[in-house]
Amino acid sequence: MTNAAFTPRVFSGIQPSGGLTLGNYLGALKRFVDMQEVGKYECVYCLVDLHAITVWQDPADLRANTRELAAFFIASGIDPERSILFNQSQVPAHSQLAWIFNTVARMGWMGRMTQWKDKAGKNSENASLGLFAYPALMAADILLYHATHVPVGDDQKQHLELTRDVAAKFNHDYGVDFFPITEPVIEGPATRVMSLRDGTKKMSKSDPSDMSRINMSDDADTIAQKFRKARTDPEPLPGTYEELKDRPSARNLVDIFAALSERSHADVVAEVEGMQWGTFKPLLADLAVEKLSPISSEMTRLMADTGEIDRILGKGAERASEIAEPILKKTYEIVGLVQSS
């Protein structure tokens, strides 16, 4: 069976572990909205709280961050009527399928994950078992919906390859064509937004320097100041994007500009050719403020009504379960855990 036999369905997720950045917006959320707007996919978007707790989360913070993340989705343009928006823990089938995938995935596969190596570091003896098994839960998230397309930032590529391996091994071991071989969708001008202090490092909420990132909660002055102080190099902007190949900090600012203005790299570079950074950075800061400020004020407005957010997530979990339950049931039958009906 090829993927053409499956309903075109998008699945993606973000962890409610606080500290949403411009990387999350450009690499993920903005593209989730684009896929919703294409209109040809059923879109399922998940706040992956079970993934978040693979590292310690204070319970009160987790609750607050979950609502904040839901507000971020909606303020960015996800329509909870057209797309399904819910939190992972409220659909138990995620954990149930993840257990089955824990028996399909191999220790060696997990041990090779760079995210595991980065997060567990030298202290892997002390890391949670959940952190090690994290990619099997991620495979379950995706395959529970027979998702055909998964938009993510570049850092999730290896996890999506593992998801394909899990699907292929399950299909092979049980002699079925049940799970699709999902397509990663790693596209757009900013699939890897880099630190504003060091263009060779990913923009991340865990970087000790707040100047390295734009937080979705930053106000206009802070955004402008961070772009003004962003690392660049002494050369002016070149005439082709290729010339930025060995200038990571400079390229990062062009990538961000292109993604925010919804234009290609080539278009942007043609327009700003020869410009000095002192001229370009204020343009970038103005553009970022214009695009991000309405999102953060809408988030503040939405978060004032937590009851409404909880209602939306509750409804989303019901709709997600309607898709997930029959797929889990069929998986149990294939594995031999229940009789085929």
Catalytic residue among 117, 157, 201, 205: 205
Longest dimension (CA), the chain: 69
Mapped onto helix, strand or coil, the DSSP state of residue 6 is coil
Shortest Å distance, C-beta 16 to ligand TYM: 8
9: three-class secondary structure by DSSP: strand
Q: Can you tell me which of 142, 166, 223, 237 binds ligand TYM, judged by CB under 6 A?
A: 142
Cβ distance to ligand TYM smaller for residue 216 or 237: 216
Alpha helices by DSSP H, listed for the chain, are 22-24, 30-38, 49-52, 59-76, 93-104, 107-111, 114-120, 129-143, 157-174, 220-228, 248-261, 265-272, 277-303, 306-335
Q: Beta strands 149-151 and 183-185: pairing type?
A: parallel
Nearer to ligand TYM, 73 or 277 (CB): 73
- Judged by CB under 6 A, the residue of 10, 152, 259, 269 near ligand TYM is 152
Is residue 202 annotated as part of the catalytic site, yes or no? Answer: yes
The span of 97-105, 152-160, 221-229, 319-327 binding ligand TYM (CB under 6 A) equals 152-160
Cβ partners under 8 Å of residue 163, min gap 6: 135, 138, 139, 142, 143, 150, 182
Per CB under 6 A, which region of 102-110, 145-153, 237-245, 315-323 contacts ligand TYM? 145-153
Q: Which two tokens stand for residue 335?
A: 């594995």
For the CB of residue 150, give the shortest distance to ligand TYM in the complex, in Å: 5
Residue 188 region by backbone torsions, left for phi larger than 0, else alpha for psi between -120 and 50, else beta: left
Please identify which residue in 104, 113, 144, 150 interacts with ligand TYM, judged by CB under 6 A.
150
CA–CA distance, 294 with 225 (Å, rounded to integer): 18
Q: Which of 117, 122, 201, 202 is catalytic?
A: 202
Question: Read out DSSP for 28-46?
Answer: IIHHHHHHHHH-SSEEEEE
Per-residue string for binding with ligand TYM, 182-201, x by CB under 6 A? Answer: ---------xxx--------
User: C-beta of 135: minimal distance to ligand TYM in Å?
Assistant: 8
Q: Which of 30, 119, 146, 202 binds ligand TYM (CB under 6 A)?
A: 202
Number of residues that bind ligand TYM (CB under 6 A): 25
Q: Which is nearer to ligand TYM, 191 or 339 (CB)?
A: 191
Instruction: Classify residue 102 by burial, with Cβ atoms within 10 Å: 0-12, 13-18, 19+.
Output: middle
Nearest-approach distance from CB 48 to ligand TYM, in angstroms:
4
Nearest position to ligand TYM, beta carbon: 27
- Tell me 210's DSSP state: G
Picking from 279, 26, 333, the residue whose alpha carbon sits closest to that of residue 151 is 26
Q: How far apart are CA 234 and CA 241, in angstroms?
A: 17
Residue 12 engages ligand TYM in binding (rule: CB under 6 A): yes
Q: Which is nearer to ligand TYM, 153 or 238 (CB)?
A: 153
Q: Work out how close the CB of 115 gets to ligand TYM at its nearest, in angstroms, rounded to a whole number.
A: 8
- Rounded CA separation 217/297 (Å): 9
Cα-based distances in Å from 278 to 208, 210, 226, 228, 236: 26, 22, 13, 8, 10
Q: What mask, x for binding ligand TYM by CB under 6 A, covers residues 26 to 65?
A: -xx-------------------x--x--------------
Residues binding ligand TYM (CB under 6 A): 11-15, 23-24, 27-28, 48, 51, 138, 141-142, 150, 152-153, 155-156, 159, 191-193, 202-203
Active site residues: 119, 202, 205
